Amino acid sequence: MNEKWWKQSIVYQVYPKSFHDNNHDGIGDLQGIIKKLDYLKDLGIDLIWLSPVYQSPMDDNGYDISDYYKIAPEFGTMEDLDELIEEARKRDIKIMMDLVINHSSDEHEWFIESKRSKNSPKRDWYIWRDPASDGGPPTNWRSVFGGSAWEYDANTNQYYLHVFSRKQPDLNWENKEVRQELAKMVSWWLDKGIGGFRVDAITFIKKSFELGNLQTYAADGLANIQEASLNQPGIHEFLHELREATFANYDIATVAEAPGVQDADLPLYVGENGHFNMLFEFNHVDLDLGPEGKWAEPVNWSLSDLKQIMKKSQEVYNTTGWGALYIENHDHPRSFTKFIRKAEADLRAQKMLAVFYMFMKGTPFIYQGQEIGMVNAHFSSIEDYDDLATIDQYQVAIQDGHTHEEALKAVWRRSRDNSRTPMQWDCSSNAGFTNGNPWLNVNSNYPKVNVENNIKDSESLYHFYKKLINLRKDSHYSESLLWGDYVSILEDHPEVFAYKRVHKSGNLVILCNFTDKETTVELDGTFQEIVLSNYSNSGFSKEHMNLKPYEAVVCLVD
Ligand code: GLC
Ligand code: CA
């Protein structure tokens, strides 16, 4: 068995802008993270995924990099980053950097040079095309954040392609110099001794230009760019080359953000000699999305949908690759509203969700604030939002004739700012995030939901997460929880998400009641002993288990 360190790790994602502000300018920073390392160590984490801290005009909060070798001054200096790596190392924590190489910022010197003239030596480093015959964009592709994916440059009378915002021009991966320059940069970071990379939007690097205009039924004539830009034929050569030139030479962890990867492709991505160690899938976090996309009413999914989604990839990981387990990150609203679909947060359900995903096969990722039960923020004015995609979408909704209330309701449900509000540390003003004016408002529930209160209360979500982490890392059941096969069970049970971890050291069953009603579960075998529950008295006999509302149990079975 290949017992790599990162398979046994717990990862914690820090969104630097919102984590902790040390110099009180209202923006989280590297020194702020250093101050909180003991908190993370106590929680039991081994690896920090740091969302981008590179120099950036911050059009997309750092996912638009203008210098890959520099740190954004808002966050600190390269010395601060080195200090963070070193202070973390002292605590046996590694730092995973975010690698954003599908695109750069339009303020990167490469792009400035590329834009200068058609004859620029870097012209081909980005994707430039002549206008269509009517002078409009070369194709009808819609960018992920809305509007045409092509931006016109009057100076050279050509358009450049941007899958994301117009300030995020796509690098041209067809150009060998680009690939070499990126690989050089990646190795430079790895030589620093970082723990690895989370690789941003990497399934977008290959485009199928021959597809031209795509079919559309939308009123604006635009069509989803993903059809021509997501996981396209030919991508594997680029990814293989990148891995061989960089990742393969280091003992690191890589996790790819990889929408569009089909289950059949998983071996190529994360199998033995795959491009990455793990990848983030989207099916479970997007299960409430219908064909009309993320801003439309959520679809009414059933527990059986969720079971099928998880089963598909988990079963692959029994033999190939390794899972990246998550329910929250900086691109999705908080998990409670999505998976529980109730207005009022419920601690029992939050604990149940933790059990639901953390004991599957793979490495668990915890997003900052998830461990203390942070929930979506409902700001009453669009002025209070920051995320470019949110603001664009709000404006589109208003133009389409929706009322402010309707548009705001969609924002409350889907905005990425829901998970980007400042970390809630304590009851003091601005939740102890800053003494200054926070760049994004703190969620008004902070006097109740914060780290300090969580630590004080032994029944809190925070202590429950610690318990789960401990159970996975350092208990009689670690072997089963780490290496056991995932077996989907009780697939027809309408209320309970259930699976088994099968291992020679002991078989565990994980049962999660997704409803606020009591229910019962029977197994083929017998229940031996309760290993963990989010209630103090679980009702079980050898033959069956009574589950209370939102109860989650881990149980030894024969
Ligand atoms: C990824 C990031 C997201 C960013 C996008 C463009 O999806 O997680 O935050 O906006 O890529 O870089
Ligand atoms: Ca600061």
The answer to whether the CB of 175 falls within 8 A of the CB of 181 is no
**Residue 369: which of 11, 9, 10, 13 has the closest Cα?**
13
Contacts with 291 (C-beta within 8 Å, 6 or more apart), sequence order: none
| Strand extents, DSSP E, 232-296 | 253-257, 278-280
| CA–CA distance, 303 with 496 (Å, rounded to integer) | 8
Q: What is the CATH number of domain 5-102+177-382+416-465?
A: 3.20.20.80
| CA–CA distance, 498 with 496 (Å, rounded to integer) | 6
Query: Could you write out the DSSP letters of every residue in 345-394?
Result: --HHHHHHHHHHHHTSSSEEEEETTGGGT------SSGGG---HHHHHHH
The two tokens of residue 12 are 């914690």
Residue nearest to ligand 1 atom 4, measured at CA: 63
Q: What pLDDT does residue 219 have? A: 85
DSSP H/E element including 113? helix 109-116
The answer to whether the CB of 391 falls within 8 A of the CB of 422 is no
Q: What are phi and psi of 177, to 5 degrees?
A: -60, -40
Output the tens digit of pLDDT for each of the chain's 558 residues.
458 999 999 999 999 999 999 999 999 999 999 999 999 999 999 999 999 999 999 999 999 999 999 999 999 999 999 999 999 999 999 999 999 999 999 999 999 999 999 999 999 999 999 999 999 999 999 999 989 999 999 999 999 999 999 999 999 999 999 999 999 999 999 999 999 999 999 999 999 999 999 999 888 899 999 999 999 999 999 999 999 999 999 999 999 999 999 888 999 999 989 999 999 999 999 999 988 888 888 999 999 999 999 999 999 999 999 999 999 999 999 999 999 999 899 999 999 999 999 999 999 999 999 999 999 999 999 999 999 999 999 998 999 899 999 999 999 999 999 999 999 999 999 999 999 999 999 999 999 999 999 999 999 999 999 999 999 999 999 999 999 999 999 999 999 999 999 999 999 999 999 999 999 999 888 999 999 999 998 888 888 999 999 999 999 998
Q: What is the CATH number of domain 109-161?
A: 3.90.400.10
Residue nearest to ligand 1 atom 11, measured at CA: 201
Q: Which of 257, 265, 288, 387 is catalytic?
A: 257
The answer to whether the CB of 457 falls within 8 A of the CB of 432 is no
Q: Ligand 1 pocket check: which of 13, 49, 56, 63 to mutate, most ligand atoms within 8 Å of Cβ?
A: 63
Q: What are phi and psi of 274, to 5 degrees?
A: -70, 170
Q: What is the CATH number of domain 482-557?
A: 2.60.40.1180
Query: What does the domain layout of the chain look like in residue ranges?
Result: 5-102+177-382+416-465, 109-161, 383-414, 482-557
Q: How far is the CA of 87 from the centre of ligand 2 (A)?
A: 19
Contacts with 231 (C-beta within 8 Å, 6 or more apart), sequence order: 203, 206, 258, 260, 261, 262, 265
- Dihedral class, residue 525 (left if φ above 0, else alpha if ψ from -120 to 50, else beta): beta
Q: Ligand 1 pocket check: which of 68, 168, 200, 225 to mutate, most ligand atoms within 8 Å of Cβ?
A: 200
The two tokens of residue 117 are 């003239």
331: Cβ below 6 Å to ligand 1?
yes
The answer to whether the CB of 278 falls within 8 A of the CB of 362 is yes
**445 burial type by CB count under 10 A (0-12 exposed, 13-18 middle, 19+ buried):** middle
**Residue 384: which of 367, 408, 354 has the closest Cα?**
408
309: Cβ below 6 Å to ligand 1?
no
